[in-house]
């Protein structure tokens, strides 16, 4: 495979960035994902046909999901499932419930999942699903109805050998239990391997619940150029990923000084008691109002003078507008696509290191793979064994990315995409094109 340098203009600036000011966050995320693929394709010397194939989802399904509300009203929401690429194995990717979810966002997330799986060396292609609904606005029974009806609509696409969903924003192990049960009821027998991120009582893996957060911690500690003792950390998005990432980083000796969620942000320069803050958030629903810290605006958190910034919420939070004010020397992406390509250029120009999402948050899909393997073998590993396997895969992937970046003068994101895209392209070439 021929490798060439990333293209630059005469002034030394990388190739022009496409218009990233699309009307919806999903469309902006998809523009960013396509831009990253285009850069990697040029770096790898891929021809136009291969690039177009990699840019085009294998399958996209949009469905209507009717839900009967408790008061008798019937509402219809939209759901999606996108299988981006299957060259390296069955599709793998989460399902998110969020009111802003649309087909463009799901397509971008599926593409990023393809590169992520290839980068960390697990035999999956990328997929993603979503329903445009606010789970907080639904009762548990309404949420179950939405989940089961959505699964019935996408049933032809999913299966333990075809496409294996997992939790994402707005979904959890209970959602996966409903999906498993719905699929199993249609199959006529129990099929635990159809989803990952299940409760352990249904075949879920030990260590899965905090796997993405553990991966963020591993990536951050690998990228730190100093001892973690006392290293200051700010976490944007104190949810499923961010809260545990903050806890794991604190456990490693870092000083978590600020966190935020949808309800607000808090800061304490001497360091937050992360365990107490998690308890407060679990009780009240937000970090807002935590007494042992000062209030902070969510925008200010991104611009704090800290050693490590962990954006762990949604896409597109670090932009060309605020990137010049980001003072963290290390940005570890716990969320998918939190940094726009424009912001990437600014951060790199200011000397910041960004550990990209397809590497930093890969812990979740790694342990999902381990769960799937356990299900297919009717076997289980201890939490310690899962931890060792997770750490090995994360550290090996980080090492490969860092070595390529150093060797070719690339950012970590450029190197990660070059490796991930290159492995998928190689698999496609080896399989050939079915006539």
Q: What is the mean pLDDT of each run of 10 residues along the chain (435 residues)?
A: 38 44 80 94 95 96 94 94 97 96 96 97 97 94 96 96 95 97 97 96 91 96 93 95 96 96 93 96 93 91 96 91 96 95 94 96 96 93 95 97 96 97 96 80
Would you state the pLDDT for residue 435? 66
Same domain for 331 and 228?
A: yes
Judge whether 45 lies within some domain: no
Give the largest Cα separation in the chain, rounded.
Answer: 65
Same domain for 181 and 286?
A: no
Domain CATH for 123: 3.40.50.10860
Judge whether 161 lies within some domain: yes
Among candidates 210, 129, 135, which has minimal Cα distance to 164? Answer: 129
Same domain for 124 and 240?
A: no
At residue 84, φ and ψ (nearest 5 deg) are: -80, -50
At residue 324, φ and ψ (nearest 5 deg) are: -60, -20
Exposure string over 167-183, b if 16+ CB within 10 A, otherwise e:
bbbbbebebbbbbbbbb
The sign of the torsion formed by the CA atoms of 90, 94, 96, 102 equals: negative
In contact, 91 and 73? CB cutoff 8 Å: no
Among candidates 207, 198, 148, 162, which has minimal Cα distance to 177? Answer: 198
Tokens of 102: 């649309």
At residue 7, φ and ψ (nearest 5 deg) are: -65, 145
**3-state DSSP call for residue 260?**
strand
Same domain for 165 and 272?
A: no
Cα radius of gyration (the chain): 21
Alpha-carbon span 44 to 48, nearest angstrom:
12
Which among 319, 336, 360 is the end of a domain? 360
Judge whether 425 lies within some domain: no
Which among 306, 340, 360 is the end of a domain? 360
Residues assigned a catalytic role: 128
Same domain for 294 and 154?
A: no
Tokens of 331: 């940005």
Would you state the pLDDT for residue 24? 82
Within 13 Å of residue 285, how many CA atoms lie on the same side as its CB?
A: 3
In contact, 95 and 132? CB cutoff 8 Å: no
In contact, 265 and 290? CB cutoff 8 Å: no
Number of domains forming the structure of the chain: 2
Tokens of 21: 């000011």
Alpha-carbon span 321 to 275, nearest angstrom:
33
Judge whether 219 lies within some domain: yes
> What is the DSSP code string of 402-419?
HHHHHHHT--HHHHHHHH
Domain CATH for 280: 3.40.50.720
Judge whether 182 lies within some domain: yes
Element spanning 386, H or E: helix 383-408
For 306, residues 6+ apart whose C-beta sits below 8 A from its C-beta are 232, 233, 234, 257, 258, 327, 328
Q: Tell how many helices (H) and how many strands (E) occur in the chain.
A: 14, 12
In contact, 210 and 239? CB cutoff 8 Å: no
Among candidates 278, 249, 282, which has minimal Cα distance to 266? Answer: 278
Would you state the pLDDT for residue 22? 59
Structural domain harbouring 318? 211-360
Judge whether 434 lies within some domain: no
User: Residue 347, class by beta-carbon neighbours within 10 Å (0-12 exposed, 13-18 middle, 19+ buried)?
Assistant: buried
Judge whether 141 lies within some domain: yes
Same domain for 345 and 219?
A: yes
Sheet strands (E) in 37-190: 59-68, 74-85, 91-97, 125-131, 163-167
Which among 360, 376, 408 is the end of a domain? 360
**DSSP alpha helix (H) spans, 56-170:** 103-120, 140-154
Same domain for 318 and 223?
A: yes
The DSSP symbol for 159 reads: B
Same domain for 134 and 263?
A: no
In contact, 317 and 325? CB cutoff 8 Å: no
Same domain for 225 and 352?
A: yes
pTM of the entire structure? Answer: 0.91
How far apart, in Å, are the Cα atoms of 10 and each of 7, 348, 351, 428? 10, 19, 22, 34
Same domain for 218 and 316?
A: yes
Judge whether 69 lies within some domain: yes
Same domain for 225 and 292?
A: yes
Same domain for 260 and 354?
A: yes
In contact, 353 and 31? CB cutoff 8 Å: no
Alpha-carbon span 92 to 86, nearest angstrom:
9
How far apart, in Å, are the Cα atoms of 332 and each of 68, 309, 337? 41, 6, 11
Tokens of 409: 């003068």
């Amino acid at each position: 495979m021929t490798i060439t340098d990333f293209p630059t203009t005469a002034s030394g600036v990388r190739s022009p960035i496409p218009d990233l000011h699309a009307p919806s966050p999903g469309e902006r995320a998809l523009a960013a994902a396509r831009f990253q693929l285009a850069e990697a394709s040029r770096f790898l010397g891929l021809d136009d046909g291969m690039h177009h194939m990699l840019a085009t989802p294998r399958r996209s399904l949009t469905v209507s999901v009717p839900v009967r509300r408790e008061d008798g009203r019937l509402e219809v929401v939209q759901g999606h499932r996108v299988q981006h690429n299957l060259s390296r194995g069955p599709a793998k990717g989460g399902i998110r419930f969020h009111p802003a979810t649309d087909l463009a966002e799901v397509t971008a997330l599926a593409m990023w999942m393809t590169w992520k799986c290839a980068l960390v060396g697990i035999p999956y292609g990328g997929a993603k699903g979503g329903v445009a609904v606010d789970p907080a606005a639904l009762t548990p029974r309404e949420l179950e109805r939405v989940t089961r009806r959505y699964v019935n609509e996408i049933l032809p696409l999913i299966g333990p050998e075809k496409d294996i969903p997992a939790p994402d924003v707005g979904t959890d192990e209970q959602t996966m239990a409903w999906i498993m049960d719905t699929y199993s009821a249609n199959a006529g027998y129990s099929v635990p391997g159809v989803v990952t991120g299940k409760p352990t009582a249904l075949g879920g893996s030990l260590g899965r619940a905090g796997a993405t957060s553990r991966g963020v911690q591993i990536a951050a500690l690998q990228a730190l150029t100093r001892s973690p003792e006392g290293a200051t950390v700010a976490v944007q998005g104190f949810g499923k990923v961010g809260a545990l990432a903050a806890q794991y980083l604190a456990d490693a000796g870092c000083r978590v000084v600020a966190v935020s969620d949808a309800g607000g942000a808090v800061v304490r320069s001497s360091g937050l008691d992360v365990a107490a803050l998690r308890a407060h958030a679990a009780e009240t629903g937000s970090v807002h109002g935590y007494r042992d810290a000062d209030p902070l605006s969510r925008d200010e958190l991104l611009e704090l003078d800290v050693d490590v910034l962990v954006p762990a919420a949604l896409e597109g939070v670090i932009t060309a507008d605020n990137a010049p004010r980001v003072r963290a020397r290390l940005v570890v992406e716990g969320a998918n696509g939190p940094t726009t390509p424009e912001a990437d250029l600014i951060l790199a120009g200011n000397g910041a290191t960004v550990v990209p999402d397809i590497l930093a948050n890969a812990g979740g899909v790694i342990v999902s793979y381990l769960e799937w393997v356990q299900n297919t073998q009717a076997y289980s590993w201890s939490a310690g064994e899962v931890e060792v396997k997770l750490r090995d895969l994360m550290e090996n992937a980080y090492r490969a990315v860092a070595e390529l970046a150093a060797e070719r003068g690339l950012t970590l994101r450029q190197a990660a995409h070059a490796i991930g895209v290159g492995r998928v392209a190689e698999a496609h070439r080896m399989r050939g094109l079915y006539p």
